[in-house]
Amino acid sequence: MKFYDFLDKAPEIGKLVIIEGEERVLADRALEIVLDRLLPADVRELNLSRFTADAAAADPAPIAEALQAMPFLAERRVVVVTDTQTMRAQPRRDFWAIAQNVPDGNTLVILDLLSPRAKTPQPFGALAGRAAQRIDTSANEAARARFVRETLERLGADADVRVVDELAGSDADLAAVRNDLEKLALAGKKISLQDLERETLSIPDPKAYKYANAVVEGKIRVALAIADEMFESDRGAAMILLSALAGACKNLWELARGGALFGRDKYSEYALRPLAPRVGERRARAAYERAVHAIEAIVTGRVGSDVGEHRALVDRISVELSALAR
C-alpha cells in the first residue's frame, strides 16, 4: 500500500508492519502514524521498544524477548527495528526468523528502506507478502506534488504552480525538497520558479559538493580553495556553498543516527560513514542547523548583501564545522 493510501484509508494494523521504499521523510512519518494509532501517549514509553539494525545484527535475542513481553496497561506492545536495509545477509535471515513469530496482540514494525522491487537484498516486504501491512514510501509525481503542497501549507507559504510542478517532476529525494521549501519560505513571499532555480538546496554543482565534503572531513585548506574558486566566478557562491554544506551535514546526521543515504546522496556515504560514530548524532545535527542558520542569515538580510560579507560568513562557518572530524 502506498504511503498516502495508508494515510487516507487508515487500514487495520496487525502484528507485522513493514515500511519500505526509499523516501526517509515519508518513512519517518509512517512510523509516527503507526505509533499514534497503536499506542496512546500516556502508555507509549511503557510499551515501546526501539532497536537499530546494528543492534539486531549483533544480537537479535533482545528483540525476540521484547516481542514476547506482555503489554503493560495497554492493548499491545510495539517493537520497532530501524534501517534493516543495512543488514548483511546472515543477520537478515536471523532477524527474519524472529519477525515471523510475533505473538497476537503485539506488533513488530520494520523500517526496511529498500525499493519493493529490489533484488539484493530481498526486501522483507516481498518475503512477507500479505502477512504484513506494507507501507511503500516510494513517491510518484502525484505523491510528490501532494507532499509539496502539504509542506507549503505547514510552512504557511505560497508558491507558483510551476514550483509545485518542478519539484513534483524532479528526482530529488523528498528530504531535499522539504529543505528547499523551508529555506525559501523564510523570505516570506510567494515562491517563484526563479527563486527555486536560484536558491534551491538541491545543488548540482560538483564543486560545491566537493567543498562540503572537504569541510565535514576536516580538509579546511581544500574546502577554502574550492570556495575561493567559486567566488571568483559567481557572486552568489555563498548560497550554493552553504546549501551544499547543509546537505552534507544532514547526510552525516542521518548516518550518525543509524540511517542510510539514497539516490544522489549515496555517493558521499563512503566518505561520511566512518565519521558518523565519531561525530555523533547531537553534533551532526548541530552542524546541520548551523549551516541552515547561515543560509537564513543571507536570505533574511541579517548579513549584508556585499559579496565580501558573504565570503566572510562562508569562511567562518567552514572553519567552525571543519572541527567535526577532529
Q: Provide mean pLDDT across the span 138-146.
A: 95
Please give the average per-residue pLDDT across 317-321, as a whole number. Answer: 95
Element (H, E) at 109: strand 107-111
Identity of the amino acid at 4: Y
pLDDT, position 205: 61
H/E/C letters for each residue in 253-319? HHHHCCCCCCHHHHHHHHHHCCCHHHHHHHHHHHHHHHHHHHHHHHHCCCCCCCHHHHHHHHHHHHH
pLDDT tens digits for range 249-270: 988 998 888 877 776 676 677 7
Which alpha helices (H) appear in the chain, and where do they start and end? 3-9, 24-38, 41-44, 53-58, 61-68, 89-99, 124-128, 141-155, 161-169, 174-185, 193-199, 206-216, 220-233, 237-256, 269-272, 276-299, 307-321
- In order of their start, the domains of the chain are 3-136 (3.40.50.300), 141-199 (1.10.8.60), 206-325 (1.20.272.10)
pLDDT value for 305: 79
What whole-number distance in Å separates Cα of residue 141 and Cα of residue 147?
A: 10
The neighbour count for residue 229, using CB atoms within 10 Å, is 13
| The pLDDT of residue 111 is above 90 | yes
Three cell numbers written together for 44: 507509549
Q: Residue 20 is inside which H or E element, if any?
A: strand 16-20
- Going by C-alpha positions, the residue among 55, 97, 49 that lies closest to residue 71 is 49
Q: What is the pLDDT of residues 151-203, one digit of tens each?
A: 999 999 999 999 999 899 887 788 888 888 888 888 788 999 888 876 654 44
pLDDT of residue 259: 78
| Rounded average pLDDT over 294-323 | 90
pLDDT value at position 200? 59
* Residue-level length of the chain: 326
Collapsing DSSP to helix, strand or coil, 227 comes out as: helix
Quick check: helix, strand or coil at residue 143? helix
pLDDT at site 264: 64
Q: Poorest-confidence range of 35-49, 98-112, 129-143, 182-196? A: 182-196
48 φ/ψ angles, rounded to the nearest 5 degrees: -125, 130
Q: Is 108 helix (H, G, I), strand (E, B) or coil?
A: strand
Place of cell 536570505: 299
3-42: pLDDT as tens digits: 999 999 999 999 999 999 989 899 999 999 999 999 999 9
